[in-house]
Amino acid sequence: MERCPNCRARYQDGTECRRCGMDLSQLLDVEQAADGLLREALARLAAGDARAAADSLTHVRTLRRDPFLDLLLGFAQTLVEAQPSVPEPTLPSRATATPVDAPASR
């Protein structure tokens, strides 16, 4: 946070605005949470998990608006779209399945 959202005074240190006295602790907590989610998203992106990174970045955007986040989210979504989809495994139907331990018929 660069400025107090109430009076626009420059933020220094502490949990209260130096000019108007507004309690900034919840806003600082939100900023800290957004920073943590951004670090998590970058780590997931570096590990090759673009889908999880995009999910984390979407969450970060609910907490903070930043053009860098928009670009990073677009990049992660492009990677997700470029990844080949893995088909769900299909189980054989009962009609075609062969019992493994069935006794042999005579």
Model confidence over 28-79: pLDDT tens digits? 999 999 999 999 999 999 999 999 999 999 999 999 999 999 999 999 999 9
For 44, the token pair is 């997931």
Contacts of residues 19-22 at CB distance under 8 Å and 24 or more positions apart, as own/partner, are none
Name which of 59, 11, 52 is nearest 34 in CA terms.
Answer: 59
Helix (H, G, I), strand (E, B) or coil at 50: helix
pLDDT at 44: 95
- d(Cα 105, Cα 4) in Å, to the nearest integer? 83
- Cβ-Cβ contacts under 8 Å for 4 (sequence gap 6 or more): 11, 17, 19, 20, 22, 24
* Position 15 pLDDT exceeds 90: yes
In this structure, of 14-23, 39-48, 85-94, the range with the lowest mean pLDDT score is 85-94
